[in-house]
């Protein structure tokens, strides 16, 4: 949230907000000690490595044409306040006359020369980063992207000369402003001071003409211009052209080497000479009456021929470009999906900071950093865009209230569109047409609501005969009436797939399937009669042409990218695309992980076995064995494996089935697990030594995640249903499950105390997951009115476990700290203040939306076992392909 006037930052008192960007806000403030006005740049995050770097860079520059740094605070920089317009403001008024432009250019060159002499490259020189004071002095601002010469990363490998991997701290991060980038920046090569010289030439041209030299309607067209077009210098004065030609050489080896030579070159240019008159004039030769008509006819014929040839030419294809954009510093991209705006300019995504708080972030692909959207801290599900790329709609969950909201990305707080029914799944993807109609997926079918607000009504109903669970990810076709969407049914796998619906059809009469499987996204094209459907098949992103009028696929699928990540148990592919050629995706980020023991102080005690693609883990009660989900990297199948924690050996436990959510029996002799066989889910049991058969306990239940087993072996505790609550399953009699407590909230990770008298669990009833404890009685609704104690304080990421003596409770905080809470039960239940034992590596917290499922605690509470991925170098990132439709032509 912006700081309000009167707020104090040390000795500085905020007066007003004067600017904002991806890295934070800039305020006018007063230094109460020296009684002078200053500018304060406040970081959007806690003091970051990049913020520290910016402070060091600016502090090393002491020059009259460079903004002066006065002071550094814990998350802010204090700089001189420069009154006056930016150079961009001045250019907006029209071209600058040469006699006024040259003094400005000289001062910019002087500032760059001072920086270059210290080995500093600005890398984002543009009119918006140049201020002109009331006295006419020039100040170059914002060395936030500056780079010390020599620390540039090596050029990325690859066969494509148009691969764009622009580096800030590492290759692959797109930094700088596209229309001012040098060709080497756009190609992903290391940059030096010659990149600033290129930008200087672009700025000077813009000053003299009032026109942006390379900026086009889209990012891809802009970069294509930088890479491929020869700059048109006909609009600038002749004496400036030699300088601009030297500055704007696409090959940096041929470019002007030192900015200090720019003014020398300009000063040495000859003044334009007026044509001299001859002292005497000879009489003209006799005119021939046929000469000029013949010349005119020849000119006309030549023009017609050239025009014919020109218009028959096929325009060169748009270049196919690849680059990556990073997550905000000290933030992790969550498994909540992301979306590209229809105009291809923005990416909206969800990321979580070190404080555990997540929010939506907006990345303008033409800018350098993402910016957080205030008011989106309760984001809960998939965002989607308005057709004009101005609004983002998103699902929120705050306490017991779940809503669909929208936010104007140009500014302003979120606005409520409608309340959503309570439940575990709402607003599962959405679409918005030009008539202001919004469709969104849910566990009640495809719902319709006005973008202006209202009450949702069904457009497609769930089919009870199919035992349908969800309908999700609708996307309008160009007519704004028909739409594609996906349906999910556990009991009828042959009904799972992509369907076409219509606003005019009845909700219960839209049952025509187009494509089996999920993870499909419709992308319109410039041709309103056809579009492309993107889907994930065996880890590959495929595109297939779709005839909008016939509602049918044409042609063969084309592979766009490999190793695409998925979310929602494989229900969604992590990709999004615009109709004008921008494709954003994330690769499969499930790495091989290493089982690693820690002590209570965070010291690594050792590892167990070999790395593998494990996803979920639970220990036996004696701490000698673990059972884990493991994914086959070749087939993608998921089975259970047993790991002997003493010997370090791993043995496969299930074969060729989708099996998950394992749980040891109290004595460790058996393992219960959930498995899907022939499209039908069920609860199974097998001896933990691998002998015997897999016995079906219950078929087709709502069992989602097994979590505990009573000491007497009579009851299983699991999470399931909708909303996802805690359930109790008797293993004798009719085996009919019953809810422990009926709530409208999602409950996870329920675990019994060692004496079975209490149950600890995580619930989102406060708006985020926190740990609670209730007395436990294995009877229907016994927990609905039972006493309740809040255990955690700042959220939990799971791993709720008791020590074997019941005197301590552990959980994983959303900030990555392993927390311990002292527990006493006599004379009444009492929980102490949570204490942080140690922090797990950041890479562990990035593994999934529920990282606690990959950690467990030894029975005595002295050791902690985590499945750790290799540490990532750098930040999370998105992969971007510009002009992806060119791949369809190959």
Provide φ and ψ at 202, rounded to 5°: -65, -40
Burial class (CB in 10 A: 0-12, 13-18, 19+), 589: middle
Count of helix runs (H) and strand runs (E) in the chain: 10, 62
Coil, helix or strand at residue 878: strand
d(CA 796, CA 816): 9
Which token pair is 629? 């989900």
Q: Residue 604: which residues within 8 A CB-CB, separation 6 or more?
A: 596, 597, 598
Neighbours of 290 (CB within 10 A): 8
Query: Taking the C-alpha atoms of 180, 120, 168 and 195 in order, what is their torsion angle to the nearest 10 degrees?
Result: 30
Burial class (CB in 10 A: 0-12, 13-18, 19+), 420: buried
Burial class (CB in 10 A: 0-12, 13-18, 19+), 450: middle
Angle at the Cα of 623 (from 622 to 628), degrees rounded to 5? 120
640 HSE (CA, 13 A, CB side): 28
Sheet containing 437-440: which strands, arranged edge to edge?
A: 430-432, 437-440, 446-450, 457-460
Provide φ and ψ at 90, rounded to 5°: -65, -40
Angle at the Cα of 66 (from 53 to 113), degrees rounded to 5? 90
d(CA 177, CA 206): 15
β 540-547/530-537 pair status: antiparallel
Residue 674: name the closest of 723, 645, 626, 707 by CA.
707
- Helices 98-117 + 193-209 axis angle, to 10: 170
847: left (phi over 0), alpha (psi -120 to 50) or beta: alpha
Coil, helix or strand at residue 147: strand
Angle at the Cα of 627 (from 622 to 631), degrees rounded to 5? 165
Q: What is the CA radius of gyration of the chain?
A: 32
d(CA 533, CA 89): 43
Burial class (CB in 10 A: 0-12, 13-18, 19+), 603: exposed
Coil, helix or strand at residue 251: coil
Query: Largest alpha-carbon pair distance within the chain?
Result: 126
Q: Are 665 and 713 in contact (CB under 8 A)?
A: yes
DSSP codes of every residue in 167-228: -SSSTTB--S-GGG--HHHHTT----HHHHHHHHHHHHHHHHHSS-SS--SSHHHHHHHHHH
Burial class (CB in 10 A: 0-12, 13-18, 19+), 661: buried
310: left (phi over 0), alpha (psi -120 to 50) or beta: alpha
Q: Which amino acids are annotated catalytic?
A: 124
Q: Are 539 and 562 in contact (CB under 8 A)?
A: yes
| The length of the chain, given as a count of residues | 890
Q: Are 835 and 819 in contact (CB under 8 A)?
A: yes
Q: Which residues of 160-191 are buried (b: 16+ CB within 10 A; e: fewer)?
A: eebbbbbbbbbbbbbbbbbbbbbbbbbbbbbb
């Amino acid at each position: 949230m912006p700081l309000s006037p009167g707020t104090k930052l040390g000795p500085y008192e905020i007066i007003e907000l004067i600017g904002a960007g991806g890295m934070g806000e800039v305020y006018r403030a007063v230094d109460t000690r020296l009684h002078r006005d200053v500018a304060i740049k406040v970081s959007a995050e806690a003091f970051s490595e990049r913020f520290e770097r910016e402070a060091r860079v600016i502090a090393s520059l002491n020059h009259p044409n460079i903004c002066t740094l006065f002071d550094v605070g814990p998350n802010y920089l204090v700089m001189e306040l420069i009154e006056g317009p930016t150079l961009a403001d001045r250019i907006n008024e029209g071209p600058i006359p040469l006699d006024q432009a040259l003094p400005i250019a000289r001062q910019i060159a002087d500032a760059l020369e001072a920086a270059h002499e210290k080995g500093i490259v600005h890398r984002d020189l543009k009119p918006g980063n140049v201020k002109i004071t009331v006295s006419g002095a020039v100040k170059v601002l914002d060395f936030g992207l500056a780079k010390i010469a020599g620390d540039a990363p090596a050029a990325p490998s690859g066969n494509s000369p148009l691969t764009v991997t622009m580096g800030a701290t590492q290759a692959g991060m797109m930094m700088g402003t596209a229309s001012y980038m040098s060709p080497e920046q756009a190609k992903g090569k290391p940059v030096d001071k010659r990149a600033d010289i290129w930008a200087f030439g672009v700025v000077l041209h813009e000053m003299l003409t009032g026109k942006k030299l390379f900026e086009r309607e889209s990012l891809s067209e802009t970069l294509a211009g930088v890479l491929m077009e020869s700059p048109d210098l006909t609009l600038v004065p002749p004496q400036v052209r030699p300088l601009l030609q030297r500055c704007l050489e696409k090959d940096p080896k041929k470019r002007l080497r030192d900015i200090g030579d720019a003014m020398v070159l300009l000063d040495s240019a000859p003044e334009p000479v007026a044509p001299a008159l001859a002292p005497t004039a000879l009489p003209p030769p006799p005119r021939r009456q046929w000469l000029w008509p013949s010349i005119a006819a020849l000119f006309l014929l030549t023009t017609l021929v050239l025009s014919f040839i020109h218009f028959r030419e096929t325009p060169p294809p748009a270049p196919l470009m690849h680059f990556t954009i990073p997550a905000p510093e000290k933030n992790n991209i969550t498994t909540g999906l992301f979306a590209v705006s229809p105009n291809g300019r923005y990416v909206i995504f969800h990321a979580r900071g070190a404080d555990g708080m997540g929010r939506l972030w907006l990345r303008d692909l033409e800018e350098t950093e993402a910016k957080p959207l205030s008011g989106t801290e309760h984001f809960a599900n998939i965002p989607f865009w308005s057709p004009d790329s101005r609004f983002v709609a998103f699902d929120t969950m705050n306490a017991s209230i779940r809503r669909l909201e929208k936010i104007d990305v140009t500014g302003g707080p979120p606005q409520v569109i409608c309340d959503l029914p309570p439940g575990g799944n709402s607003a599962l993807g959405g679409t918005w047409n030009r008539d202001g109609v919004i469709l969104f997926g849910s566990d009640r079918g495809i719902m319709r609501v006005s973008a202006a607000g209202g009450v949702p009504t069904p457009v497609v109903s769930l089919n009870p005969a199919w035992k349908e669970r969800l309908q999700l990810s609708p996307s309008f076709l160009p007519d704004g009436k028909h739409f594609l969407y996906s349906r999910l049914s556990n009991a009828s796998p042959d009904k799972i797939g992509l369907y076409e619906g219509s606003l005019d059809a009845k909700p219960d009469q839209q049952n025509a399937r187009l494509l089996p499987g999920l993870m499909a996204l419709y992308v319109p094209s410039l041709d309103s009669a056809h579009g492309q459907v993107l889907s994930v098949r065996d880890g590959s992103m495929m595109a297939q042409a779709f005839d909008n009028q016939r509602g049918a696929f044409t042609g063969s699928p084309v592979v766009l990218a490999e190793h695409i990540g998925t979310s929602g148990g494989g229900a969604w592919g992590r990709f999004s695309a615009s109709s004008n050629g921008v494709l954003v995706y994330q690769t499969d980020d499930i790495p091989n992980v290493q089982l690693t023991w820690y002590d209570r102080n965070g010291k690594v005690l050792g590892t167990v076995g070999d790395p593998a693609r494990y996803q979920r883990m639970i220990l036996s009660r004696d701490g000698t064995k673990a059972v884990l989900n493991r994914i086959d990297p070749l087939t993608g199948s998921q089975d259970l494996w047993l790991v002997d924690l003493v010997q370090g050996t791993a043995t496969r436990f299930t074969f060729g089935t989708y099996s998950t959510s394992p749980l040891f029996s109290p004595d460790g002799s058996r393992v219960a697990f959930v498995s899907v066989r022939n499209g039908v889910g069920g609860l199974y049991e097998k001896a933990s030594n691998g002998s015997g058969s897999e016995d079906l306990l219950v078929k087709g239940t709502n069992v989602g995640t097994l979590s505990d087993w009573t000491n007497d072996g009579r009851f299983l505790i699991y999470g399931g249903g909708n909303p996802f609550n805690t359930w109790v399953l008797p293993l004798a009699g009719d085996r009919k499950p019953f809810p422990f407590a009926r709530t409208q909230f999602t409950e996870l990770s329920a675990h019994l105390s060692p004496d079975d008298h209490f149950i600890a669990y995580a619930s989102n009833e406060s708006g985020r997951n926190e740990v609670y404890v209730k007395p436990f009685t294995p009877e229907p609704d016994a927990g609905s009115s039972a006493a309740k104690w809040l255990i955690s304080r700042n959220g939990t990421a799971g791993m709720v476990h008791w020590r074997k003596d019941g005197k301590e409770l552990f959980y994983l905080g959303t900030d990555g700290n392993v927390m311990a809470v002292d527990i006493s039960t006599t004379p009444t239940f009492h929980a102490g203040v949570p204490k942080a034992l140690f922090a797990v590596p950041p890479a562990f917290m990035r593994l999934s939306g529920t990282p606690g499922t990959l950690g467990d605690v030894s029975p005595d509470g002295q050791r902690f076992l985590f499945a750790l991925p290799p540490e990532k170098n750098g930040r999370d990132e998105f992969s971007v392909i510009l002009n992806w439709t060119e791949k369809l032509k190959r």
